[in-house]
Structure 1
Amino acid sequence: MLVWTLVATLLLSVSAQTPQTTKGKTITCFCDKCANLECVSDGYCYTSTRIDKETKQIEHDFRCLNPSLSHPPVKPLVCASTSASANFMPFAVECCDSGDYCNKHLRPLLHSKNQSGAGGKLIISSADEKIGDDLSTDTSLIIFVGTTVLVVLLLVLLVIYCGWTRNHKWKKQRPGALFKSNDSMDPQDQQPILGVNNTLRDIIDMTTSGSGSGLPLLVQRSIARQIQLVEIIGKGRFGEVWRGRWRGENVAVKIFSSREERSWFREAEIYQTVMLRHDNILGFIAADNKDNGTWTQLWLVTDFHENGSLFDYLSTRTVDIVGMIRMALSISTGLAHLHMEIVGTQAGKPAIAHRDLKSKNILVKLNGTCAIGDLGLAVHYDDVDGKIDLATNSRVGTKRYMAPEVLDESICENHFDSFKRADVYALGLIFWEITRRCNVGGIYDEYQLPYYDLVPSDPTIEEMRKTVCEGRHRPSIPNRWQSIDALNAMSKVMKECWYHNAAARLTALRIKKTLANLGASEDIKPPQ
């Protein structure tokens, strides 16, 4: 666009100097033989230069050009008339229509043959020479000043255009003016602005349009230096989880050791999947690294939920029937979104299997709904080439929640639905944990992990395989559940989730619809 602007400007400057026809308009010309020294023409004014036959002196005639001689109208041939022949006295004609009296200072130049006939010789009088010099000087000055002004103007336009383009792109990528400049700061340390009414969630929604890719990369690459770690809230095989403060809000910081770089990269990659963001999936904010002087820490920053994990919540609190269904429905909704493949016009969301679904990897929100987190072991299915990005060891996850086909290694790794069905098995166990803590009339069960009465607190794969695969055991269903409609309905759902035959299990979407119907009967609004 800038190139065309420059070309258009140059063409305009050139056209301003090119005579245009004024046919249909009148123009007043300087006339040396007319009364009041002027005449009116419908076309052009002209000046002719000639050699007087008797005096041999250069003379000029100033007249109006008769419209009948204005042919062709744009550039009449008479205006280009000239003679340098030895048989005729030299003469020249020059026309103009740029304004009234435009011919007053026109001085067409004469040429004639010299005696040798070798070339043209300019014939000009001393008076004409002076006028020509003045005109030449004025013309050169005008051209110089005009060119300088034009160049400066073009440079100013170029700077304005570049600034506007850069600002437009910046705003498009980061709506709401996320950054404020500070000359004393390193560019990477410049802080995002959180207005009074702009929460962290608002900023992520504005900058990602729901894509799930977290904050803009510029913020992600400097966020580790901006977060203040407050307290440790959990530990795992990968490292630690901290509660941090960033720009006045709580965030969860999962810190991996440098030895776990592969896990950190994998989880960050999954979290940044296009169109992954969902109310029932833990909100991703940023991935960054920080050198603490001894080693490099790898940070994964997510939403913070003060209720902690579902495991923590159920260990100390109970839920009523409405709360039980709300939790179960939100978890199944999040899992259905995770499992679902969304086809987009440019880039869609692939189907994703969690592979480590358990109560400790589910967060409880303040409104009683849940969000699925810890996607470090997740795999997705590439529909283009039909490949599953599976690690070498497919038997991963938490042993207590492993499906029978995972424990005995009979899972079909070439069929992506196999991994989704393993997730559904674990979902049934989580429903069992929630339902045990449902308080009906003051009666509820103490919190326990699945198979607490059949295997040790830290069972081996072999112990789980004997219990789940060989013994075909499942968590026990208390008799009192049969007499309460909601608890009985939940028990039926969980049983259909943990069938030994993986193909017979419900899909996450079917579970979501079943619980939504159950919630409707209990007057529960399903999560959006």
Structure 2
Amino acid sequence: MASMFTFTTKCKYMYLIAFLLGLYTCVDGLTCYCSGGACPDDRENGTCVTRGYCFRTIEEVWDIEDKEYALESTYGCFSEEQGLLSCNAYRIQSARKNVSCCVNSNNCNKDIQFPEFPSITDPSDTVDVSQVLLALPYIFIILLLLLLIFLYKWYNNYLHKQRGQPLVPKNDTLKDLIDQSSGSGSGLPLLVQRTIAKQLQISDCVGKGRYGEVWLAHWRGEKVAVKTFFTLEEQSWFRETEIYQTVLMRHDNILGFIAADIKGTGSWTQMLLITDYHEHGSLHDYLSINVLDHSSLFLICWSIASGIAHLHTEIFGTKGKQAIAHRDIKSRNILVKRNGECAIADFGLAVRYDSLSGDIDIAPNTRVGTRRYMAPEVLDETLNTSSFEAFKMADMYSVGLVLWEICRRCLTGGKVSTAEDYALPYHDVVPSDPDFEDMRLAICVKKLRPVIPTRWENDSVLLAMSKIMIECWHGNPGVRLTALRVKKTMSKINIDNVIKIV
């Protein structure tokens, strides 16, 4: 009984002390620690007085500089009304912001402790594991497909190596050649080349030879020339297109190439070569009906020499041009342009030379050149086919004969101008369609050359041109003029003492 009396007495004293403290607070107020915006404006010593509650809040705030969450505490005073609302909040770990209040002593909010916050990461950094698990089967399927493709290609390459066959057939058809590359950029884009035959409106036949026909056609409102090859001349068509697509082949005095195509049905095939159209036609036809003055003579001869020089010259560079020999130069294979210049055409027999490898690219072809214009070394079969210079010198022999045809049509004599009738070289010593033996006998055995008319001796221009052609058709290939030397020699010729091309 005595012990229970003692415990009861102690409880009465504790209640009394609490009552007195509450009474003291109600009379003088409770002093609380404050910080930041929670301090009243008239308090500068970090304390505030209230008749309500002291509080402490703790909040996790995202730090932009450190890229992480940081704890931020606030201390201050609540009124009785604020305390009734805020101080009843529970302190839980999952809350972003927690509030705790006290009234048991002055500055009691300094000692308030909170449970530790769990680490919180930026939501953008979290990865949804379920989404990864859903994507795994698709990733596996994609990797499996890539592996199968790799194995298929590897096995295909292995089979080709075992059979000793190249993966890309070389020069099977011109279609294959065109599909692989456009060459130098000569002509139209390849997609257009493969469809141009369907867009042509062919009208008139403007020429016909042993190996094909030339037609006038319209394409996209422009006139073009369409050369059609006979069925047996596929090699000539293939070779000519291949030469036209040589890198850096384009030149003012080379016939402009547009496209090549094949069209036909299952029973027949037509091979087409589309080029620029020149209404004056070939030099042969032009000289047959026109005479020349000194200026037009010079322009024609100069442009022919320029075109041949471009063919014969090798251009070095990342995408250089191989040297090319024509092998069938004649007046019918030279076209006259509207501006009076000429353009070299018909490359069905041309050969290419690569100086780096030393290879001479002679395409297989049953076609032969024009016998009337063949050089002596070709007629007697002494041409050195392993030397590209020999092919170039054979070209220059033919150039000399063409210059002779041109000069015959140049007027001289002042007021009473005269010019010879047009004639082919050796028209007076061989038949109209000579065979090899006819030409060999005249050129190699009798060593005949075209006759130089006496009137040329009285004309400075024709006299100078006659010296050039004589050196071009010399019997010894080693002493013939090159195309560049012909151009340089012609640059020294005065035309009527007024015009001089340098």
Q: Matched residue of 2:492: which SS?
A: helix
Q: Is the 8 A contact 2:215 2:227 kept in 1?
A: yes
C-alpha separation in 2, matches of 1:504 and 1:219: 46
Matched, 1:251 2:250: no
Q: Which has the larger radius of gyration?
A: 2
Matched, 1:430 2:402: yes
Matched, 1:419 2:391: yes
The one of 408, 414, 422 equivalent to 2:380 is: 408
Q: Matched residue of 2:186: which SS?
A: coil
Q: Paired residue for 1:380?
A: 352
C-alpha separation in 2, matches of 1:221 and 1:392: 25
Q: Matched residue of 1:254: which SS?
A: strand
**Which residue identity is paired with 2:209?**
G
TM score, norm. by length of structure 2 = 0.66
C-alpha separation in 1, matches of 2:497 and 2:190: 44
Q: Is the 8 A contact 1:395 1:409 kept in 2?
A: no
Matched, 1:34 2:35: yes
Q: Paired residue for 1:475?
A: 450
Q: Paired residue for 2:477?
A: 502
Q: Is the 8 A contact 2:58 2:71 kept in 1?
A: no
Q: Is the 8 A contact 2:335 2:344 kept in 1?
A: yes
Q: Paired residue for 2:188?
A: 215
The one of 261, 274, 277 equivalent to 2:247 is: 274
Aligned-pair CA distance for 1:269: 0.7
**Which residue identity is paired with 1:410?**
T
Distance 1:141 1:414, change over 3 A: closer
C-alpha separation in 1, matches of 2:498 and 2:344: 24
Q: Matched residue of 1:451: which SS?
A: coil
Deviations 1:157-216 (A, max 9, x none): xxxxxxxxxxxxxxxxxxxxxxxxxxxxxxxxxxxxxxxxxxxxxxxxxxx9x9562111
Q: Paired residue for 1:517?
A: 492
Deviations 1:58-79 (A, max 9, x none): x9635xxxxxxxxxxxxxxxxx
Aligned-pair CA distance for 1:487: 1.2
Aligned-pair CA distance for 1:392: 5.7
CA RMSD in angstroms, aligned pairs only: 3.3
Gaps spanning 5+ residues in structure 1: where? 1-31, 39-58, 63-93, 108-124, 149-207
Q: Matched residue of 1:347: which SS?
A: coil
C-alpha separation in 1, matches of 2:370 and 2:332: 10
Q: Is the 8 A contact 2:330 2:402 kept in 1?
A: yes
C-alpha separation in 2, matches of 1:446 and 1:428: 18
Q: Is the 8 A contact 2:236 2:365 kept in 1?
A: no
Aligned-pair CA distance for 1:273: 0.9
Matched, 1:454 2:451: no
Q: Paired residue for 2:171?
A: none
Q: Matched residue of 2:491: which SS?
A: helix
Q: Paired residue for 2:332?
A: 360
Distance 1:358 1:141, change over 3 A: closer
Q: Paired residue for 1:98?
A: 64
Aligned-pair CA distance for 1:525: 6.3
**Which residue identity is paired with 1:98?**
I
Gaps spanning 5+ residues in structure 2: where? 1-32, 40-55, 74-89, 98-117, 132-181
Q: Paired residue for 2:293?
A: 320
C-alpha separation in 2, matches of 1:306 and 1:400: 26
C-alpha separation in 2, matches of 1:418 and 1:104: 90
Deviations 1:461-515 (A, max 9, x none): 1100000100100111111111111111111111111111111111111001111
Q: Is the 8 A contact 2:351 2:362 kept in 1?
A: yes
Aligned pairs, number: 362
Q: Is the 8 A contact 2:492 2:500 kept in 1?
A: no
The one of 442, 462, 472 equivalent to 1:487 is: 462
Aligned-pair CA distance for 1:274: 0.8
**Which residue identity is paired with 2:319?**
A
1:138-177 matches, within 5 Å, as none
C-alpha separation in 1, matches of 2:94 and 2:185: 79
Distance 1:343 1:447, change over 3 A: same
Q: Give the % identical residues.
A: 53
Q: Paired residue for 1:329?
A: 302
Distance 1:525 1:264, change over 3 A: farther
Q: Is the 8 A contact 2:235 2:364 kept in 1?
A: no
Q: Is the 8 A contact 1:481 1:487 kept in 2?
A: yes
